[in-house]
Amino acid sequence: MSTAETLASSGEVSTYIANHIGFIELERPKALNALSTGMIRAMHAALDTWREDPGVLAVVVCSQHPRAFCAGGDIRFLYETFQRGDEAARDTFFIEEYRLNHAIFTYPKPYIALMNGVVMGGGMGISQGAHRTGGLRVVTNSTRLAMPETRIGLFPDVGAGWFLARTPGALGRYLAVTGETIAAADALYAGLADAYIDDAALPALVDTLRSEVFERGADAVACVEHETAAHKVVPTPDTSPLADTRAFIDRHFALPDVTQILASLEAESGCEAAEWAEQIVGVMRERSPLSMAVSLEVVTRAEGAMAEVLRRDLDLTRTSFAHGDVVEGIRARIIDKDNAPRWRFARIEDVRAADVAQMFESPWPAAEHPLADLQG
């Protein structure tokens, strides 16, 4: 095998083997590496090729762009599919994206995600699964991580609900509902990252992965662990903003529904968390009420297998475009940028349990679900 064997280069993603490591490099900088259907297919094809290849010991996914690892899925594309009535193209995007997420989550070789810059939405879907493969999720001083979907009337998809449900206390519920962005120390504290390295040291880390001698995938992981051990994140995880507000987050976001959470936050006036609570109330009043309620339920229901979570995510994409706020949210935030979305429900207090339950109804019989074959 040559030192570097290129499998594919679409202009948006390159996949190649170097030093017995499969590299996936995201190369769509103008869109902050937002995932297109073509990028998803190229990544999945490479993973399938490397799965049984004894010459590939581990996989590394990274970005060639300093501003972003991956800002999510191609939201404009999804909006355009709605405008032209192309449900099939939209379904195809989500089905293939979620199949990729599942392939990463169940991958038999260590998968290492180098998560610099913006890591949001779909970027979480192609990185969080590393934790289940014996690999690593590496964050940097530029990392800005979020599932900000409630801002555009969507919900934390790509299987992120599974990971959010397994964060300490009510952190996952808080992150899902508010869509708040967190940095490296927060991510480590929440269990959404495994190691930290300075951005300036990333190129040297990749060079080391290209040159060290590895006999097993675990050796490549140990190499990354060794290289990152010398780097200390500031603030430390246990003094991060999430850690500092953890008691307040748990107090409010452990409540059973968003209406009670909001009322509890509004009752904080005059208490020690009053300023923080007021800020979070302001955030929530800007989000889609229906999406916040759905997002909380996504985390609540994510106790089962990842395959179940991804099937539910696909159901919700259908209902979100048919009955939810996502089209209006994308219009207001991304297309027209007037930041004045007209949500289906004006206030969270207006959303009924039946409205939320309707969003979780699958349009497919169980045996005919496009993701019915996923296991684990």
DSSP per position, 155-217:
--TTTHHHHHTTSSTTHHHHHHHH---B-HHHHHHHTS-SEE--GGGHHHHHHHHHHS--SSH
Q: Tell me, what's the pLDDT at 302?
A: 97
Round the average pLDDT of the chain to a whole number and report it. Answer: 96
Segment (H or E) for 5: strand 4-9
pLDDT band at 272 (very low <50, low <70, confident <90, very high): confident
Torsion of CA 19, 20, 24, 25, to 10 degrees: 0
Q: Which residues contact 294 (CB under 8 A, 6 or more apart)?
A: 155, 316, 320, 324, 356, 359, 360
CA distance 191 to 243: 12
Render pLDDT for 362-372 as a digit per residue (tens, 0 to 9): 999 999 999 99
Give Cα 245 distance to the centre of its chain.
22
Render pLDDT for 88-126 as a digit per residue (tens, 0 to 9): 999 999 999 999 999 999 999 999 999 999 999 999 999
CA distance 193 to 190: 8
Q: Is the pLDDT of residue 2 over 60?
A: no
Q: Is the pLDDT of residue 271 over 90?
A: no
Q: Tell me, what's the pLDDT at 6?
A: 59
Out of 3.40.190.10, 3.90.226.10, 3.20.10.10, 3.10.290.10, select the CATH number for domain 1-376. 3.90.226.10
Render pLDDT for 5-48 as a digit per residue (tens, 0 to 9): 655 566 899 999 999 999 999 999 999 999 999 999 999 999 99
Q: Which residues contact 131 (CB under 8 A, 6 or more apart)?
A: 137, 163, 194
pLDDT band at 1 (very low <50, low <70, confident <90, very high): very low
Q: Is the pLDDT of residue 312 over 90?
A: yes
pLDDT, average across residues 207-223: 97
pLDDT, average across residues 191-215: 97
pLDDT, average across residues 198-204: 97
Proportion of the chain above pLDDT 70, given as a percent? 97
CA distance 327 to 343: 10
pTM of the model: 0.96
